Amino acid sequence: MDQIKHSHVQVRGVKLHVAEIGTGPKVVVFLHGFPEIWYSWRYQMIAVAAAGYRAIAIDCRGYGLSDHSPEPHKTTFNDFADDVVALLDSLSISKAFLVGKDAGVIPAYMIAAASPERVAGIITMGVPFMLPGPMSLQILDKLPKGFYILRWQEPGRAEADFGRFDVKTVIRKIYILFSGSELQVASDDQEIMDLADPSTPLPPWFSEEDLSVYAGLYENSGFRTALQVPYRSFGNDFEITDPKITAPALLIMGEKDYVLKFPGMEDFIRSGEVKNFMPNLEIKFMAEGNHFVQEQLPEEVNQLIISFFNKISI
Cα–Cα distance list, 310 to 43, 161, 180 (Å) = 18, 44, 32
242 — phi, psi (to 5°)? 50, 55
Nearest-angstrom CA–CA distance, 255 and 288? 6
Tens-of-pLDDT digits for all 314 residues of the chain? 789 999 999 999 999 999 999 998 999 999 999 999 999 999 999 999 999 999 999 999 999 999 999 999 999 999 999 999 999 999 999 999 999 999 999 999 999 999 999 999 999 999 999 999 988 999 999 999 999 999 999 999 999 999 999 999 999 999 999 999 999 999 999 999 999 998 999 999 999 999 999 999 999 999 999 999 999 999 887 778 889 999 999 999 999 999 999 999 999 999 999 999 999 999 999 999 999 999 999 999 999 999 999 999 88
- CATH number, domain at 60? 3.40.50.1820
Active site residue 231: yes
Distances in Å between the Cα of 10 and the Cα atoms of 13, 39, 72, 194, 210 are 7, 20, 17, 39, 28
Sign for the pseudo-dihedral over CA of 294, 300, 301, 302: positive
Please report the pLDDT score of residue 234 as a whole number: 93
Q: Of 102, 161, 210, 257, which residue is the catalytic one?
A: 102
The pTM of this model reads: 0.97
Contact 85, 98 (CB under 8 A): no
What pLDDT score was predicted for residue 237? 78
CA–CA separation, 28 and 121 (whole Å)? 9
Selecting among 79, 231, 257, 258, the annotated active-site residue is 231
Please state the φ and ψ torsions of residue 187, each to the nearest 5 degrees. -80, 175
Query: How many domains does the chain divide into?
Result: 1
- Mapped to the 3 state alphabet, what secondary structure does 59-103 carry? CCCCCCCCCCCCCHHHCCHHHHHHHHHHHHHHCCCCCEEEEEEHH
Tally of residues, the chain: 314
Instruction: Count Cβ atoms within 10 A of the Cβ of residue 185 and give its class: 0-12 exposed, 13-18 middle, 19 or more buried.
Output: middle
Q: Which domain holds residue 157?
A: 5-310
Give the span between the Cα atoms of 1 and 50, in whole angstroms: 13
